[in-house]
Structures are given as C-alpha cells and as structure tokens.
Structure 1
Amino acid sequence: MITGGPAGRKATLAGESRPERALIAASFVNRVGNGLFNAASALYFTLVVGLPAVQVGAALTIAGVIGLCAGIPGGHLADRRGARRVMMVALTVQALSMAALLLVESWAALAAVATVDQIAAAAGGAAWGALVARVGGDRPARFRAKLRTFVNLGVLLGTVGAGLALAADSRSAYVALVLGNAASFALCAALLLLLPSSPVRAAPPRERRRPAVTDLPFLTFTALHAAMGLQYPVVSLLLPIWISEHTEAPRWTVAALFAVNAGFCVLTQTRIGSRIETPHDGGRAFRTAGLLFLVSCPLMALAAYTPVRAAVGLILVAVFVHSLGEVWESSAGFALGFGLAPDHAQGQYQGLLGLGFNAGQALAPALLTTVVLGLGTAGWLLLALFFAALGAAGPPLARWGTRTRPQPGGAGETKG
C-alpha cells in the first residue's frame, strides 16, 4: 500500500484494510453513543423518570453484578459460533434494551432492563476482543492502538454532545440522548456486516472446556490488570473530589483535567501503542506505567499544599504524566491480554479479562474514596507505591506467561 500521499496517510490512520476500517468505524460509532448516554444517564433516571438516586444506584449495581457473569460464557460462545455473529446479536439486544429505557417507570423495570443490557454488554465485549484479535492481522498492536484512539475520540465527541443536551435541560433532550445511544448500537451492528465471515479455530484435542479459568499465568495477569485499572477512576472520580475539597484550585480545573486526559490519549495512543506488540513488550510497558503513576500520584497530593496558580499547574502536570501512564498501561494490557491468549479461545480469554477489569472498576469508588481520601496525602503515596509494585510484576509475568504457552500445532479450523 502506498502511504506517502495524503490519501495514503488517511487510509493508514483509519485502518490498513477494509476489515480494520469497518471495525474502527463500528467501535467509533458505538463509543459516540456511549458518550452521549453515560454522561447523562444518572440525571435521566432521577430527573426524567423520577426515581430516587438510591434506587437508581441499586438497580444499576445489581445489573452490573449479574452482567459480570456473562463475559466468559459469551466469549466461549464467540469462539465456537463466531465472534461477529455473537457481537451483532449482543448489539441488537443492547439497542432494544436502550430504547426500552424510555418505557421504564419503576425501580424493578429499570433493574430488569439494565440487567439485560449488561448481560449483552459483557458477552459483546468478549466477542469484540476476539474480533480485534482476528482483524489485527500481522500488526495487531498497531491496529489496537489505532482502535483505542478512535474509541477515545468517540467518547469525547459523545460527551460533548451530552453536554449540549444537559445545557438544554429538557425531557426531549434527555430522550434524544437515549435514542442516540440506541441508534449507535444498531448502526454498530450494521457496520459489522462489512467484516468478512472468519473461520472458527477448533480447540486442540482433549483441551479443557474452560481453559482460561485454569490458566494460572493469565489469571494472575487478569488480577494485576484489574488492580492497575484503579488508575482510571483516579482521574474521573478521585482527583475531582480532591481538587474541590483539599486544594485552592478553581472548579474549572476539573474540566481542564478531563480535556488534557482525553486529548493526550487520543494524540499519543497510536504513536506509543504501535510499538508494544509482544507479551515481553507488554511486560516492560506495564512496568513503565507503574513508574509514571508513581510520579503522578504524589504530584496530585502536593497540589493541596500550594497556592492557587501552583496548584493548577501541579494538577495539569500530574494529569499529563498520569495520561502518559494510561497510554502505556492500556498498550500493555493489549499486548499481554491478546498475546497470552490462544487464537482458538480469544473470546473466552477476553471475557475473563473483562470480568476481572469490570469487577475492579465496581470496587474502585469505595476503595479509592475510603483509603486514599481517608488517609489524605499518605493515601496518595500508598496508591503510588501500589501502582509501582503492580508495574514491577509486569516483566516477570510476561516471561512466565510466554514460557508456559502451549506449543502451536494440532488445532485445525472449521467454518462457523
């Protein structure tokens, strides 16, 4: 492919093959819809539907916990029946369940609809992982980095759209956000029709039915990945509270940190992530991420002891360093998560990885607000050391995982 001219650069940015471009477009559309809805979902349920916040939280928590259980079975189904087929079904269910939210008038109805949505989301997420592994081809790290760049951009654009609707503050604006998200699921499913039907790789003879849950190195990585995932709520939850309650920085600093985080990730993900391809690369990247978080967390804590201008500057520098760590951490997750999983069971392995990550995200708000905010500066320092220790485990984990992978051969392919 000639990539020297403007058309070539555009093609490379958007994907180097038709399947890559189709999956990037589908993911982008889906994340725009997510950004539209997620930023305003709590307000829709409380202000438009009229449910108490406690009931909304309980319903979504129940749905999330039940949905966690669908990741591994959904991934196994994707491995055996085809990842594209499973993901399209999951997206269709999500489109219908999202539209059904407009009919919700009670706590029980919200819990039921949200549970269906979360089950489909978990199964679809595992199938998405298998699709990414298949479409990535010879340069999987480069493709995954591009994909995440467009995913971040989609969320950013969707969030901007949600902000406009929130400014309107009307029932019709909130309804438009719900329908916009439902439409994004439907369009995403339609775009997946552009992907070619891929053969299903048969499992080796006498392999266990659920190999992922007996793969000790991968289970260990799943736990480390879930724990390192606490870095995401640091920016979205912990730092905004710290700014408002413990620093002299103005409230607009919170908006600025989100802009810096999102913009930096969009601009650097492909440049950094495309170089992290093998599990060994991923192990070193995991360590680098831990060291960057070791720097960023104390800087966030230090902002509480400085005057206004210095506090704003420290926070923005801290978010810059933290965002760099986020890019290295996500790239490490791609390299290790896909690289340690066998081709014939990518869906099941990605389902397990998603289960661990989502469980960690569910526990994160309570852990971070209780431990870090409860201990203050000491909590920030403890969190920094925690991330650094997790990162240090990356290289030995990569060596262990690579050493214990089964030798290739023996697995054929059957059409699915």
Structure 2
Amino acid sequence: MIKDSGTGWTGRIGRLAGDTGPERVLVAASFVNRVGNGLFNAASALYFTLVVGLPAVQVGAALTIAGLIGLGAGIPGGHLADRRGARTVMMAALAVQAVAMAALVLVDSWAALTAIATVDQIAAAVGGAAWGALVVRVGGDRPALFRAKLRTFVNLGVILGTVGAGLALAADTRGAYVALVLGNAASFALCGALLLLLPRYPVRAAPPQQPRWIASRDRPYLAFTALYGAMGLQYPVVSLLLPIWISGHTEAPRWTVAALFAVNSGFCVLMQTRIGSRIETPQEGGRAFRTAGLLFLVSCPMMALAAHTPVWAAAGLVLAAVFVHSLGEVWESSAGFALGFGLAPDHAQGQYQGVLGLGFGAGQALAPAILTTVVLGLGTAGWLLLAAFFAALGAAGPALARWGVRTRPQPRVAAEATG
C-alpha cells in the first residue's frame, strides 16, 4: 500500500476536507446535498413552466409564499435541535425534503406546487438552523474555520450540479427535467444517510432559570442579524442585478454573463478556506466585515462604469469587478461565520442560527425588489448608492463586534479572578 506523507496533493485535499472523521462526514454530506441543489435550482423555473405548464407568474407566487412561510420555522426548529440533538433534527428535515422534492414530479396545479414548496421550505429552515448547530459540534474549537471549509465544498458541489443541469437543459425533454428533480430528492436522502456516520453528540444543558427564547432578547446578536441580512444583498448583485445590467446597459458580449458566474464560483472555491482560516474570533469578524464593505465600495462603481466603456473594455471591466466583488464575498461570509458562531452560546447554537437564518432569508426575499427598482431605476447613481450602502454596513462591523463581545457572559473562573 502506498502511503501519503501528508505533503502531496492527497494530503492537501484531506486537510481541506477536514481534520477528523466527523468533519469529513459533514463535508461529504454537504457536498452531496449541494450537488443536488445545483441540479435542481438551475432548471427549476423551466421545469415548472415548460413541463408542468404553469404560468411564470403563478410559479413565482407559489415560491414566494412558500419562502415567506418557511422563514418563521428556523427559530423553533433551531430550539428543537438544541433540546433534541442537531443530528436528529437535521436528518428528519432532510427526510421531509427528500419526500417533498420527489412529490414535485406529481405537481399539476398551482395549489399543489404551493403546498409542496411550503413543506419543503419549512423543512429547509428547520434543517438550516440544525445544520448550523451541528457545524459547531463537529467543528469543535474552530467552527468558523470548519464552516469556511464546508463552504468551499458547497460551492464546488453547486458548480458540478449546475454542469449536470446544463446537460439536461440541452436534452430539453420531460425525462431529463424529471431526472433533475429526482436527483435532488436523492441527494437529500443520501445526505441524511451520511449523517448516520456522525456520533450522537450529547445535548448541552442550558443554564438554570434562563429564558427559553434567549436569542430574541440578545440585542447585539439581533443587530448583527440585521447587518448580516442587509449585507446579504451582495449575493444577488452577481446572480441577478449584474446579468440584467450587462444585457441592457453595456456593450459587453452575452458570454460575459456565463464568465462572471465561473469567476465568482471558482474564486470562492479557491479562496474561502485560505481567507476564512484567518477570521475566527468575533473581533476578527467585525474587521472582516469592514474589509468586505470596502471591497464592495470598489466593485460596484466598476460594474456601473462598464455601461460607459466600449465593447472591448466593458467585458474586461465587468470580469475585474466580479473578481473584486468575489473577494468581498469571501471576506463577508467569513465574517458572518466568525460572528454568527462566536456570539452564540454553545447550548443555544441552533436557536441562534435560526435567528440568523431568518434575518438572512428576509434580506434575500427583499433583495430582488430593492435591486431591480432602486439600483436599476437610478442607473449609475443607483450603483454608487449601493456601494456606499455596503461600505456603511461594513464600517459598523468592528463596533458591533466589540458590543457583542462585551455583553457575553464571562466565565465564572475569570469573574472570580477579577473579583
């Protein structure tokens, strides 16, 4: 048997995938799940409109209703994960999603799509909060670093799933679209099965006489949630706003749209762990938010400037802007991991992740309307306003981190030593 010394490429891949068995299991489960998401998300709209035959307006309404209802399930789902075990709740949520996703092949009406999508979104919100709590248990003393590693494989899984969806879109048959839906359902089931390989982590007891819904009383964390949700508008900038801007306001060729997705995804895969490994404490997270805001302050005007340059320069300017924006995305997500995990008490990670998911989900729900009306409506001035908005949010990061750390309960030993 050939042994790897740990310095070759297999050693590097092993370290990237995790330092322990449970870390590697969670990385594998996350990767499988995101491959399935990539398969489905890239073609879901076409499946509902072309195969099922629903009008686009009805599809949008069904998914919006489902998303809004699902937002409210994260906090109680996270609390359940804290009290019953994150692995158990996560596996149950994945089982529900697998069944709901498979049931989509039977959809033949708007009502059926709305009902099934709502069940899926409720399970997704519960699972998302439980997943955050599970990351903390598996990641041990460095959950933010482990979450950065996870995100690397998440991005890679989405890329591979999107490539698979592209093949199905090229075939353009009912069978190909149905295969994508069932492939996503299978990914949920396989992800849940992989979680059986994790140990049964004991539930951490809450301090006596502590309120049940502690996260809703934590003002610094609620402020961070609002900041995180608002800064999350940067994600649809690349996926929604910039493609519309390129096609309608610049001379850049249409292939630039595909190239920007490749640059964004590839950069995040390559740099997430490298940068995330340097951002672990809440204080480091606050400074990272400020860095992200400054990078967005640079990238947004570059995107706006592409509308005022000739065709030979527009494509290069857009790609350069996406590169800078992707760098900001990595800093912003790493900051979110450090603050989101670092400010939450160990016994209530699920509940806190549910609060964070609610804030982020609300921001993502509002983002399309804000970006398409305000930014596109104002044109170049809208891009500059967006850049200033991101910079202002980032500037608040260090002060928010200091407030959060200052208001955390002090360890009893430390308190006695200073008494």
Is residue 323 from structure 1 mapped to residue 326 from structure 2 by the alignment? yes
| Kept in 2: contact 1:141–1:275 (CA 8 A) | no
Is residue 398 from structure 1 mapped to residue 396 from structure 2 by the alignment? no
Is residue 118 from structure 1 mapped to residue 125 from structure 2 by the alignment? no
**Which one of 51, 66, 83 corresponds to residue 63 of structure 1?**
66
Q: What whole-Å deviation, never above 9, does each CA across 1:373-393 have from its counterpart, x for those lacking one? A: 000000000000000000000
In the alignment, which residue of structure 1 is the partner of 2:188?
185
SS for the counterpart of 2:186 is helix
In the alignment, which residue of structure 1 is the partner of 2:337?
334
1:142 positional shift: 2.3
| Kept in 1: contact 2:65–2:118 (CA 8 A) | yes
Q: How does 1:88-99 map to 2 (within 5 A)?
A: 88-99=91-102
| Kept in 2: contact 1:66–1:115 (CA 8 A) | yes
In the alignment, which residue of structure 2 is the partner of 1:143?
146
Is residue 261 from structure 1 mapped to residue 261 from structure 2 by the alignment? no
1:138 positional shift: 2.4
TM-score, length-normalised on structure 2? 0.96
Q: How does 1:288-299 map to 2 (within 5 A)?
A: 288-299=291-302
SS for the counterpart of 1:266 is helix
In the alignment, which residue of structure 2 is the partner of 1:14?
17
1:36 positional shift: 0.3
1:219 positional shift: 0.2
**Which one of 361, 365, 371 corresponds to residue 362 of structure 1?**
365
In the alignment, which residue of structure 2 is the partner of 1:172?
175
Q: How does 1:234-249 map to 2 (within 5 A)?
A: 234-249=237-252
Distance, in Å, in 1 between the alignment partners of 2:159 and 2:269 is: 9
1:3 positional shift: 3.4
Distance, in Å, in 2 between the alignment partners of 1:248 and 1:58 is: 33
Distance, in Å, in 2 between the alignment partners of 1:6 and 1:263 is: 19
Is residue 277 from structure 1 mapped to residue 280 from structure 2 by the alignment? yes
**Which one of 202, 209, 219 corresponds to residue 212 of structure 2?**
209
Q: What whole-Å deviation, never above 9, does each CA across 1:73-100 have from its counterpart, x for those lacking one? A: 0000000000000000000000000000
In the alignment, which residue of structure 1 is the partner of 2:416?
none
Distance, in Å, in 2 between the alignment partners of 1:195 and 1:407 is: 31
Distance, in Å, in 2 between the alignment partners of 1:243 and 1:220 is: 34
Gap runs ≥5 in structure 1: 411-416
Q: What whole-Å deviation, never above 9, does each CA across 1:151-195 have from its counterpart, x for those lacking one? A: 000011101111110011000000000000000000000000111
| Kept in 1: contact 2:144–2:341 (CA 8 A) | no
| Kept in 2: contact 1:67–1:119 (CA 8 A) | yes
Identity of aligned residues (%): 84
1:406 positional shift: 1.2
Give 4+ residue runs of structure 1 displaced > 6 Å after superposition.
Answer: none
Specify the code of the residue in structure 2 equivalent to 1:245: G
Distance, in Å, in 2 between the alignment partners of 1:42 and 1:147 is: 27
SS for the counterpart of 1:201 is coil
| Kept in 2: contact 1:70–1:122 (CA 8 A) | yes
Specify the code of the residue in structure 2 equivalent to 1:160: V
Specify the code of the residue in structure 1 equivalent to 2:381: A
| Kept in 2: contact 1:71–1:122 (CA 8 A) | yes
1:10 positional shift: 3.0
| Kept in 2: contact 1:97–1:113 (CA 8 A) | yes
In the alignment, which residue of structure 2 is the partner of 1:414?
none
Moved more, 206-215 or 8-17: 8-17
Q: What whole-Å deviation, never above 9, does each CA across 1:338-388 have from its counterpart, x for those lacking one? A: 000000000000000000001100000000000000000000000000000
SS for the counterpart of 2:195 is helix
Q: 1:299 to 1:6 in 2, by over 3 A?
A: closer
CA RMSD of aligned residues (A): 1.2
SS for the counterpart of 2:68 is helix
Distance, in Å, in 2 between the alignment partners of 1:407 and 1:330 is: 27
Q: 1:75 to 1:325 in 2, by over 3 A?
A: same
SS for the counterpart of 1:51 is coil
Specify the code of the residue in structure 2 equivalent to 1:140: P
In the alignment, which residue of structure 2 is the partner of 1:102?
105
Distance, in Å, in 1 between the alignment partners of 2:282 and 2:6 is: 28
